Amino acid sequence: MLEIVFLIPFLTGAGAFFLPNKIGRCLLVLTGAIHLILSVMIWAGRLTPIFPEYFAVTPEGLLSLLVISLLFFLISIYTIAYLKASDIHAENIFTGSMLLFLSTMTMVTLSDHIMVMWIAIEATTLASAPLIYTHRTAASLEATWKYVLICSVGIAMALLGSVLVTVAMDVGKVDAPISFTAMTDVAKKMDPMWLKAGFVFILVGYGTKMGLAPMHTWLPDAHSEAPSPASALLSGVLLNCAYLGIFKTNKIMHAAGLADFSGPILIVFGLISIMAAATFILKQTEYKRMLAYSSIENMGIIAFGTGIGGLGAYGAMICLIHHSLIKSSLFLTSGNILLGFGSRLIEHTGNLVNRMPKTFVAFFGGFAGISGFPPFGIFIGELLIIIGAFRTGNYVGAGFFILSLCVIFAGFANNVMKISFDTSDTTIRIKEEASLVWPQYALLLTSLVLCFWMPDTLHQTIIHAVNFDDFSTQAVEIVSRGGKVVQLFAFQANGTFRLMAVLRTDVLLVAACDAPETYPALTAKCEPFHMFEREIAEQYGIRPEGHPWLKMVRYHANCRSVDDVFGNDYTEDIPGRYDYYSVAGDEIHEVAVGPVHAGVIEPGHFRFNCIGERVLNLEIQLGYQHRGAEDLLLKADRKRIAFIAENIAGDTSVGHSLCHAQAMEALSGIQTDDGSKIIRTIGLELERIANHVGDLGALSGDVAFLPPANYCGRMRGDFLNMSLLMCGNRFGKGLVRPGGVRFPMNDDNRRDLTARIRELKPHVKHTIDLLFSTSSVRSRFEGCGTVSRSDAEKLGLVGPAGRACSIPYDVRRCFPTEHYGQLDIPENAEPTGDVWARAKVRADEVMQSIAFIESLLPDPVETEIIDMADMALAPDSFVVTLNEAWRGELSHCILTDGAGGILRYKVKDPSFHNWNGLSMSLRNTGISDFPLNNKSYNLSYCGFDL
Amino acid sequence: MLNVLKNRFEQGCKTSRYPKEKVQLLPRYRGRPEINPDAPSDVASACAAACPQNAIDPVAGTIDMGRCVFCGTCERISNGRFVTFTQDFAIAVAEKEHLFTKGDIPTLAEHSRQHFKKLFGRSLQLRQVSAAGCNACEADLNVLATPFFDLARFGINFVASPRHADGIVVTGPISRNMKTALLQTYEATPEPRVVIAVGSCTLTGGPFRGSPEITEGLDTLLPVDLFIPGCPPHPMTNLHALLNFFK
C-alpha cells in the first residue's frame, strides 16, 4: 500500500477546498503528521507498492521523500501561525493546494516509471500555481503566468526527452519495462545516440523546473511572490523533485557508459547557474528574491557535483538534503520579516537583531548554513565537491565554482548585515509567537544534527546513491592508468551487502557501493582485481560474470549461506577437488606436489603441467591453512584480537601486529609516543633481516653452495634472538600492541643490541659478498624464473618481488608510518625480474636495515609501556593501515558499526598478490628450478589462507 | 676458494655444547611459569580475567601451558605476585594433564615410553606436518638443523616421506582443510610410530580456539606421545624434549 502516501494528501487536499478554514487548517497539520508516519514506515520497509511497474522505493527517492515529509510537517505548523497573522483571500484554496502539492511531490519521489514521473512533475506545476497567486496582486499574477508557461514549455521538452529514451530502447532492440530501475539494468544495450538526445531534452526540461540557468527566469518571481510557507515548499522540495528526474536519467547514462557525455553538460549547466546567481545576488534589493537566487545557486552546485561524479556526487547529495532543510527555514523566517516589516525590500527593514530577536537567530543561523559555514552540512558537501573536482582534474571548473561561491557569500552577507543591524524606525506589526520561529529552529537543528550524527541507514541511503557502475568504472579506470588494488572486499551493513575498494596511486582512494548479486567481472578488463574478485565470490557468494579464472581461494562456505559460486558442498571434504588448468598432448605430463611437502614448511598444492622437464604452467592451489581468522577477529573477546592478528603469519608477527595496532589506534584516537615508534621500527626491521638472511641461505643451499647456507642459517637465529632480547619472543610476538609497545628499550638492551649487531654485521656482509661473487651461484641465479615488469604490474606484485621487476614501490617510502618518515628508504629496484634480482634486492635490504637499526640505537629510547589498553572504537568508521612487511605491502582494514563494534575485519597479506608471481616465474623454466624460485619469493601460506 | 676459507675462519665453530653444558637464555625469555599459592584471590582472578587465552584457573591456582602463549600478561598484572615466568625452557610433558601446572613439571625423562627409548634412542627419523601453523613453530623446528643446534649429531632427522619416518611432528591448529592430509600422513607412517604435538595451536587451538575451522587439540584426533607447549616453543625446548624423551 505504498500509494496511500500520496493518495491521503490528495483526498484531504480535495476535501479542503470545500471545508471551512478552521477544519482546513487542522487537516493540513493532521495530513502532515500522517504523511510523516507513513514515510517513516516506508523507510522501515513496511509498505510495498501495489503497482510495482509504476512505483518503487529507490534510495534517492526515499531520501527526498523523508525530506519532503519532515519539511511539510514543520511547515504546516508554521502555516497555522502564518495564516492567523496574515489575511489571505480564499484560504481554502491555499490549504487545498498545499495538500495537493504534497501529494504530487510524493508521487514524484515514488515513481519509477519514466512517464509516471513526468506526469507527477507536471502535476506539481498545476498544484502549486494557485499557491503563487494567493496574494491576488498584479505581480503575483505575472509570476504565476511566468511559472506556468515557462515550466510547461520545459516539461514539454522533458516529455520529448522521455520519448526519445524509449526510442533508444526500441532502436537498441531492448525489450524491458520503461521503469528507471529496469532501464538502468539494460542501459548498455540501448542506442547511445538516441539516449544522448533523450538526456539533453530531459536535462533542459527538468532543468527548467529545477531552476538551472538560463531556464531559471520564472524562479525568482514565483518564489518571492508566493506566501512564505509555499515558497519554502517550492524552494525546499519542489526543486529536489525536478532534480530527481535528472538524477535518475543520469544514472541510466552512467550505466550505459555515457558518463563522459552527461558529466560535462551537467558541469556546464551547474556553473552557469552558480555564476548567474552570483551576478544577481550581489545587487539584490529584495530579500525573498535573494533567497530565490540562492536556490538557483544551490541547484547549480548540485548539478555541478553530480556532473563531477564520485566524491562530487556524494557531496551533491549532502548539499541536496541540507539545502532543503536550511532554505525552507530561511523562507519561513523571511515570512516573519515580511509580516513584521510589511515590505519585501531590504531597505525597509533593519535592526532585526533587536526588533525581532527570535527571528534574527533563525535568520542568521540559516544564513550561516546556506553560505557554507562549518559545521553546517553545505560546508561538507561543497568541500567534497571541490575535492572531487580537483581529483578528477577539473581545475577550471573548481576555480569558477570557488570564485562564484565567494561572490555569492559577499552579496548575501552584505544584505544580511543590512537587515540585521541597520537602523530602522518601522513598527513591528506582529508578535513573535513560538510557532512562528520554532519550526525554523527545528529545521536548522535537524541540519546540524545530521552533520554530527548521521543515522546509519540514512548514511547508507546516501552512499547507496553512488551506484555500482560508477564504482566499477572508476576502479577499472584508476587501475588501468597504473593504480594498484590495495584491498577490495565485501561486507554486510544493516542487512545489505556492499563492496569496498581501497586503491592506491600516489594517494590512497577509498570507495564503497552496494554489491550486486552478480556483476560483470572487473578482472575481465583489468587483471589486478583477479584474486580479490575470487575472494569476494567465495566469501559472499557474489558472482563476477566473465571472470577468466573463477576458482576457489580457501575452500569454505560463504557467510550468506547462499549457493556456493563454485558449486561445492562444504559438509564434504573438498580440498583437492579443484578444476586444474590442464594441458593435453602425448608428451605432456603433470606433477602434483603437496599439500604435505618434503620439507618443514606449510601445506599447499602445486600442479605442474610439463613437457619433458619444461614447465608450461604451474597452478598453485592453497586454502589448506584456512583458520577463519577474519571471522574470529569479529567474534573473539577484545582482549584476544591482538593475539589473533599477530598469529595470522608467524614469520610476519611484527608486521601484522603493527597493522592491527595502527588500525585500533586510529579508531580510538590514541597517540603513540616517539619511543614506541622507534621500537616498532626496529622490531619490523629485525623481522625483515631475519627472514631475508634465512632465505638467502636457503637459496644458497638450493644451488648446492653450502657455506653460506649454513652461515645464514646460524645468523638468522642470531637476529631472531635479538627479537627475543627485545620482547622475550624470537618472532617478536607480543612486542607491538595497540597504544604502543609492551617492552621498553633500556640502556642495557641498547648496548647489548649494538654489540650483537656490531659483531654480526661483518659476518653478514662477508657471507653475502661470498654468495654473490661465486660464479656458480651467479650462473644459476641469473635468468632463472624471469617475470617481466608488465606481468608484474598486472599481477600486482609487491615488496621485493615487485622491486626485482623494477617496481620501486615500498610502503616505508611511499606511505611512511612509525619512524620511517625520518629514514631515507632507497628504491632498491632491480631490472631483471629473475632469482638474481630477487636475491639482490633482499641482500641490499638486509644491509640497509642493519644500518637503520644502527642509526636508531645510539640515543636513549623513552617510552610508556602499555599492556591491554581499553579502547573505545569510533562508531561508523573505516580505517585502512599499510606497512611494508618483509614480503611487501601488508594491509588491515577495520569497519565499525554504529555502536563501535567491529563490523568487518579485512586482512591482506602481501602473499595474496605474490603467489601468482611464483606461477609466472615457472613458465618455461625447468621443473628442477622450482625450489630455487620458491625460495626467492618464500611466500606465506597462512597469510594467504587467513 | 681463498674467499670461502676466509669466511670459514671468520664464522668459527658455533655449535652449542648442549646438553653437556647448560644454555642460558636471554633475560626476557619466558619459560616455565610458577604460581604463588599464597597470592590473594583477587590478584589471581584479575590475572585469569586478563589472560587472552583463558589459561588460568584462579581457584585451583594452575596455569594451562597448552593454552598459554607465554605473553606474560599475568605476570605483569600481578606484578609477579601470582605468576612468574622462569628462564627454564624444559617444559615439554608426556601426559596432557601435566600441562596444567602450579610450577612443577614432572621430569620428562622419567615419563617417557621406555620402548621408544630402545627403538629410537640411537636413530629417530621424523616427518613434520604443518597443519595450519603460522610458520613460527615450523621455523623453530627447522632451526634445529642449523649449526648451533645441529640436531643430526644426535641421530635425529626430519625426513621427506612418512614412509621413512618413525613418527610425525604436528604443528598448527589443524584446519578443517588439512585434517584429511594429516590423518593420511599419520596412516602412512609405519608402526610403531610416535606423535609429537608442538605449539599452543596444536595442543589446544592456541590463539585460534573458538574458530569452527580448526580442531582444538591434536589429542582429540590422534594419540599424542609428547606435548611441547609454547607460541612457538623455543628451539631449546624442542631439543630438550626430543633428547629427554627418546635418549
Pairwise CA distance, residues A411 & A279, whole Å: 9
| Predicted local distance difference test score (pLDDT) of residue A458 | 47
- The β-bridge relationship of strands A736-737 and B156-158 is unpaired
Q: What DSSP line would sit under A26-45, residue for residue?
A: HHHHHHHHHHHHHHHHHHTT
Nearest CA in chain B to A638: B52
A255-259, A420-424, A563-567, A684-688 — which one is most confidently predicted on average? A684-688
Across the range A190-213, mean pLDDT stands at 91
Shared domain for A771 and A885, answered yes or no, is yes
Q: What are phi and psi of B147, to 5 degrees?
A: -55, -35
Shared domain for A455 and A423, answered yes or no, is yes
Interchain pair A707, B206: CB under 8 A: no
Pairwise CA distance, residues A877 & A904, whole Å: 11
Of A445, A466, A487, the residue at which a domain comes to its end is A466
Burial of A555 (0-12, 13-18, 19+ CB in 10 A): buried
Strand partners, B128: B169
A713 neighbourhood in chain B, CB within 8 Å: 143, 145-147
Nearest CA in chain B to A574: B177
| Predicted local distance difference test score (pLDDT) of residue A89 | 75
| pLDDT range class, residue A506, cuts 50, 70, 90 | confident
The number of distinct structural domains making up chain A is 3
Pairwise CA distance, residues A814 & A795, whole Å: 20
Interchain pair A734, B176: CB under 8 A: no
**A 573-592 near B (Cβ less than 8 A):** 573-575
Shared domain for A700 and A776, answered yes or no, is yes
Candidates B6, B146, B206; nearest CB to A713: B146
The secondary structure of residue A637, as a DSSP letter, is -
Shared domain for A774 and A687, answered yes or no, is yes
By the CB < 8 Å criterion, does B91 face chain A? no
By the CB < 8 Å criterion, does A729 face chain B? yes
**A 596-635 near B (Cβ less than 8 A):** 596, 598-603, 623-629, 631-632, 635
Pairwise CA distance, residues A758 & A857, whole Å: 12
Pairwise CA distance, residues A316 & A319, whole Å: 5
A555 neighbourhood in chain B, CB within 8 Å: 177
- Domain contains A712: yes
| Predicted local distance difference test score (pLDDT) of residue A868 | 67
- Residue B1 predicted with pLDDT over 80: no
B177 neighbourhood in chain A, CB within 8 Å: 554-556, 574-575, 623-626
pLDDT tens digits for range B56-84: 998 888 999 999 999 988 888 888 888 89
Higher pLDDT: A237 or B196? It is B196
By the CB < 8 Å criterion, does B152 face chain A? no
Interchain pair B177, A554: CB under 8 A: yes
Q: What DSSP line would sit under A314-382, residue for residue?
A: HHHHHHHHHHHHHHHHHHHHHHHHHHHHS-SBGGG---HHHHSHHHHHHHHHHHHHHTT-TTSHHHHHH
Candidates A595, A651, A717; nearest CB to B146: A717
User: How far is residue A362 CA from its own chain's centroid?
Assistant: 34
Across the range A545-567, mean pLDDT stands at 86
pLDDT tens digits for range B159-182: 988 999 999 999 999 998 899 899
Nearest CA in chain A to B177: A624
Distances (CA, A) of A51 to A1, A112, A162: 9, 10, 20
Candidates B30, B52, B142; nearest CB to A640: B52
- Residue B229 predicted with pLDDT over 90: yes
ipTM of this complex prediction, to 2 decimal places: 0.93
By the CB < 8 Å criterion, does A741 face chain B? no
If you average pLDDT over every residue of chain A, what do you get?
88
| Predicted local distance difference test score (pLDDT) of residue B20 | 82
Candidates A628, A644, A773; nearest CB to B213: A628
Grid coordinates given for A589: 605430463
Distances (CA, A) of A908 to A127, A328, A630, A942, A944: 57, 48, 10, 11, 8
Residue keyed to cell 595470522? A648
From A770's Cα to the closest Cα of chain B, the distance in A is 7
Shared domain for A372 and A438, answered yes or no, is yes
| pLDDT range class, residue A455, cuts 50, 70, 90 | low
- Domain contains A306: yes
**B 36-65 near A (Cβ less than 8 A):** 50, 52-53
| Predicted local distance difference test score (pLDDT) of residue A517 | 82
Shared domain for A393 and A532, answered yes or no, is no
Of A579, A598, A620, the residue at which a domain comes to its end is A579
Shared domain for A501 and A646, answered yes or no, is no
Task: Please give the radius of gyration of chain A, using alpha carbons only, rounded to the nearest integer.
Answer: 33
pLDDT tens digits for range A340-358: 888 888 888 888 888 888 8
Query: Do residues A626 and A641 make contact, with C-beta atoms less than 8 angstroms apart?
Result: no
By the CB < 8 Å criterion, does B116 face chain A? no
| pLDDT range class, residue A48, cuts 50, 70, 90 | confident
By the CB < 8 Å criterion, does A733 face chain B? yes
Shared domain for A655 and A507, answered yes or no, is no
Query: Do residues A5 and A20 make contact, with C-beta atoms less than 8 angstroms apart?
Result: no
By the CB < 8 Å criterion, does A710 face chain B? yes
Domains and CATH numbers, chain B: 109-246 (3.40.50.12280)
B160 neighbourhood in chain A, CB within 8 Å: 598-599
Q: Report whether the peptide linkage leading into residue A858 is cis, meaning its omega lies within 30 degrees of zero.
A: no
Shared domain for A425 and A295, answered yes or no, is yes
Pairwise CA distance, residues B25 & A721, whole Å: 9
pLDDT tens digits for range A695-748: 999 999 999 998 899 899 889 999 999 999 999 999 999 999 998 899 999 889
Query: Do residues B66 and B44 make contact, with C-beta atoms less than 8 angstroms apart?
Result: no
Element (H, E) at A75: helix A59-85
A653 neighbourhood in chain B, CB within 8 Å: 134, 136
Query: Do residues A619 and A580 make contact, with C-beta atoms less than 8 angstroms apart?
Result: yes
By the CB < 8 Å criterion, does A760 face chain B? no
Residue-range definition of the domain harbouring residue A285: 261-466
Residue keyed to cell 613439571? B105
- Domain contains A680: yes
Tell me the one-letter amino acid at B61: G
Grid coordinates given for A797: 606484485
| Predicted local distance difference test score (pLDDT) of residue A37 | 92
Shared domain for A444 and A575, answered yes or no, is no
Q: What are phi and psi of B126, to 5 degrees?
A: -120, 145
**A 501-530 near B (Cβ less than 8 A):** none
B202 neighbourhood in chain A, CB within 8 Å: none
Of A521, A549, A579, the residue at which a domain comes to its end is A579
| pLDDT range class, residue B3, cuts 50, 70, 90 | confident
Higher pLDDT: A898 or A674? It is A674
**B 170-189 near A (Cβ less than 8 A):** 172-173, 175-181, 185
- Domain contains A154: no
Pairwise CA distance, residues A606 & A621, whole Å: 6
Interchain pair B30, A728: CB under 8 A: yes
By the CB < 8 Å criterion, does A651 face chain B? yes
From B25's Cα to the closest Cα of chain A, the distance in A is 9
Shared domain for A482 and A558, answered yes or no, is yes
3-state secondary structure (DSSP) of residue A520: strand
pLDDT tens digits for range A526-540: 888 899 999 999 999
By the CB < 8 Å criterion, does B136 face chain A? yes
The secondary structure of residue B214, as a DSSP letter, is B
pLDDT tens digits for range A895-927: 888 788 888 999 999 999 999 999 999 999 999
| pLDDT range class, residue A460, cuts 50, 70, 90 | very low
| Predicted local distance difference test score (pLDDT) of residue A457 | 46
CATH code at A656?
1.10.645.10
From A386's Cα to the closest Cα of chain B, the distance in A is 46
- Domain contains A879: yes
pLDDT tens digits for range A383-420: 889 988 887 888 888 999 999 999 999 988 988 988 88
- Domain contains A115: no
Residue count of chain A: 946
A-B contacts (CB, under 8 Å) = 201
- Domain contains A278: yes
Shared domain for A710 and A851, answered yes or no, is yes
Candidates A600, A623, A642; nearest CB to B138: A600
3-state secondary structure (DSSP) of residue A895: strand
Count the neighbouring beta carbons within 10 Å of the beta carbon of residue B31: 20
- Residue A641 predicted with pLDDT over 80: yes
Pairwise CA distance, residues A290 & A346, whole Å: 10
From A306's Cα to the closest Cα of chain B, the distance in A is 45
Task: Please give the radius of gyration of chain B, using alpha carbons only, rounded to the nearest integer.
Answer: 19
Interchain pair B207, A644: CB under 8 A: yes
Mutation for testing the A interface, residue in B128, B130, B171, B182 having most A CBs under 10 Å? B130
| pLDDT range class, residue A869, cuts 50, 70, 90 | low
- Domain contains A677: yes
Interchain pair B145, A713: CB under 8 A: yes
